[in-house]
Each structure stands twice: as C-alpha cells, then as structure tokens.
C-alpha cells in the first residue's frame, strides 16, 4: 500500500481516514450535498433530496471494511475534502468525492480526483474506475466527463425508502454509471 500521508500541494496533505475521522467525514459530506450550507457550493443535491447524505454508522462501516478507504485531504488539521474508494477487483469504485462548499470552484475537486485515481492505480493496479451519479445532476456529470469519464448507459435505482440516503423531493431519481479507463493492463 502506498505510504500516506502524502502531499498533494504546498498546503494540502492526504491520508487514509481512521475511525477518529468518522464524524468529521460525515459532517463534511452532509454539508456539501444537503441543506442550506451546501448551496454555497455547486455540488448540492438539496433541491433533489433532503435530510442526510450519509451517517456515522455508514462511514464507520466503510472505513472498517477491507479493500476500501476514505482518502481525506486536509490543511491546518482541518478536513477540506474526502473521497471514498473501493477495490472491486476488476475495477475501482469512486464515491462521495466531497469538497467543503466554501472551497469549491477553486480546483480542489480536480486535485482530489487526480490523487484518488493515482492512488487506486498505484495501490490496487486497476485499469478502470466506475462511479454512480444521480441522473439529474447534469452539471456534475459534465464535470466528470471533462475529466475523462463516460456514461456507460447503465442505470441503478435510487434507494427510495432508505432514509440513510436522504428523503427524495422528486419521484424519478436514479443513478447513471460513469467509467474511466486509467491505463491498459
């Protein structure tokens, strides 16, 4: 496994999240995707879904399982961004890429994405990365497409009725699967 922490810029350090980081990760993710504070950034889902994006029990479960990690990116001992990575053997899964809403639109998301892709390539030697994005998030989908991801045409249902993922405000939510080949084996 790649040694962490590693420096991603002059002021930003990255490391694998630990159990002590669960509450901070949960707070960051929820603040970036849901509620009024999320509207300070451009990644909000607040108009589509209310409630939480995740909870502490889910983040703790994700941190504890093998073949998956949260990378956190911090400056001055404050978590500014995070991303969840999972080794699915034939590909890597990337989810919950999160940047503090007050730090968005400054290139930090691109830095996190590049670091996550490199970490999965260097650590797990995978050749492609997949993710799911809510179909209605056209601006976010376009952002990933500009970074080499493409729509596979696959769709996954939104988990209606499971409040761990929030309370939908619209009836036709679903995920699309995006994919990027990062190198050929």
pLDDT, tens only, 38-48? 888 888 888 99
Looking at per-residue confidence, does 102 or 26 come out higher? 26
Model pTM score: 0.90
User: Residues of the chain with pLDDT > 90: what percent?
Assistant: 70
Residue 2's pLDDT is 44
Residue 3's pLDDT is 45
Q: Which residue, among 63, 72, 79, has the nearest Cα to 4 in the 3D structure?
A: 72
Task: Say if residue 6's pLDDT is above 70.
Answer: no
CA dihedral for 52, 39, 142, 68, sign (positive or negative): negative
Each residue of 16-32: pLDDT tens digit? 999 999 999 999 999 99
């Amino acid at each position: 496994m790649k040694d962490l922490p590693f420096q991603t810029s002059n002021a930003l350090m990255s490391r694998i999240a630990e159990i002590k980081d669960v509450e901070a990760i949960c707070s960051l993710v929820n603040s970036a995707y849901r509620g009024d504070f999320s509207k300070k950034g451009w990644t909000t889902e607040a108009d589509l879904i209310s409630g939480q994006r995740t909870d502490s029990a889910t983040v703790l479960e994700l941190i504890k399982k093998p073949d998956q990690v949260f990378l956190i990116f911090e400056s001055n001992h404050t978590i500014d961004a995070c991303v969840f990575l999972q080794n699915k053997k034939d590909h890597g899964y990337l989810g919950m890429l999160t940047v503090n809403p007050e730090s968005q639109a400054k290139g930090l998301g691109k830095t996190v994405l590049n670091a996550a892709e490199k970490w999965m390539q260097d650590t797990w030697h995978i050749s492609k990365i997949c993710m799911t994005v809510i179909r209605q998030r056209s601006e976010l989908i376009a952002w990933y497409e500009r970074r080499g991801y493409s729509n596979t045409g696959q769709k996954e249902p939104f988990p209606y009725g499971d409040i761990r993922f929030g309370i939908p405000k619209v009836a036709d939510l679903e995920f699309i699967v995006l994919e990027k080949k990062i190198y050929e084996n």
